């Protein structure tokens, strides 16, 4: 057990509970299709309190962050999972942390935690440790929708560093997927990369229009 993790968990619970808004919590729970209970905190509130809390304790290492995140994932209120997503920083992690991220992605899974983990934490970790791209290759074909979505989205903020071969191959491999979250991820990833290379995205969509879902095509070409 980490002393720092104990400190953080002991502080975050009363901090978040003090700002709880039961009326807002009901609306949040309904919006998220009754997937999770809520305290009624807004995301800006979570972000502000997360920064305040983490500045008040010693710097957290990978082992501390792992324990904090896993303990937050065990808590019922969704805001604690948001807190974990906020405090994970790829520059404080190592390649082995991807195992923990897989656990977080495949546990209490929904887009609200998977997307920040995919686009920021996993994405930054793979960019810093390129050997992890082989794991993204595995995830891109995984039966777990959230792992596949993470693989498609992990390069979202890479810009000119994007490995287009991987991006396009992941999209092609999942083009016929029936799940909304995969179809949406394909469109989102392509649309975002179109900011960097619109001609490449246009050419890809034109070549694969028959295989891609209408949702993926619509999202990918929204700003072309």
DSSP assignment of 56-97 equals TSPPP-HHHHHHHHHHHHHSSSHHHHHHHHHH--GGG--GGG
Question: Which domain covers residue 156, as residue numbers?
Answer: 110-224
Instruction: Output the pTM of the full model.
Output: 0.96
**Mean of the per-residue pLDDT values of the chain:** 97
- Give pLDDT tens digits for 15-61: 999 999 999 999 999 999 999 999 999 999 999 999 999 999 999 99
Helix (H, G, I), strand (E, B) or coil at 179: coil
Same domain flag for 117 and 78: no
Same domain flag for 58 and 117: no
* pLDDT at position 1 over 80: no
40 inside domain: yes
pLDDT at residue number 195: 97
Same domain flag for 117 and 193: yes
> Contact 100/63 with Cβ under 8 angstroms?
no
Same domain flag for 133 and 220: yes
Domain boundary among the residues 36, 52, 87 is at 87
Same domain flag for 224 and 118: yes
Same domain flag for 129 and 74: no
Report the CATH number that the domain containing residue 124 is assigned in CATH. Answer: 1.25.10.90
Structural domain total, the chain: 2
Same domain flag for 39 and 144: no
Question: The tokens 């305290």 sit on which residue?
Answer: 39
Same domain flag for 83 and 169: no
191 inside domain: yes
């Amino acid at each position: 057990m980490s002393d720092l993790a104990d400190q953080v968990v002991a502080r975050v619970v009363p901090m978040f509970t003090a700002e709880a808004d039961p009326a807002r919590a009901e609306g949040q729970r309904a919006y998220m299709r009754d997937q999770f209970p809520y305290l009624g905190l807004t995301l800006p509130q979570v972000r502000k309190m997360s920064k305040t809390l983490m500045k008040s304790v010693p710097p957290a290492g990978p082992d501390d962050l792992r324990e904090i995140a896993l303990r937050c994932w065990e808590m019922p209120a969704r805001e604690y999972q948001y807190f974990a997503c906020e405090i994970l920083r790829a520059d404080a992690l190592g390649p082995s942390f991807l195992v923990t991220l897989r656990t977080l992605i495949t546990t209490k899974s929904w887009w609200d935690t998977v997307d920040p983990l995919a686009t920021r934490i996993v994405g930054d970790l793979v960019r810093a440790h390129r050997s992890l791209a082989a794991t993204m290759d595995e995830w891109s074909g995984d039966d777990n929708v959230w792992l596949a979505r993470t693989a498609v989205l992990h390069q979202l903020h890479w810009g000119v560093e994007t490995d287009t071969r991987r991006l396009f191959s992941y999209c092609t491999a999942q083009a016929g997927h029936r799940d909304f979250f995969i179809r949406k991820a394909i469109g989102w990833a392509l649309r975002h990369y179109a900011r960097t290379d619109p001609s490449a995205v246009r050419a890809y969509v034109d070549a694969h229009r028959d295989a891609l879902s209408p949702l993926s095509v619509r999202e990918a070409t929204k700003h072309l």
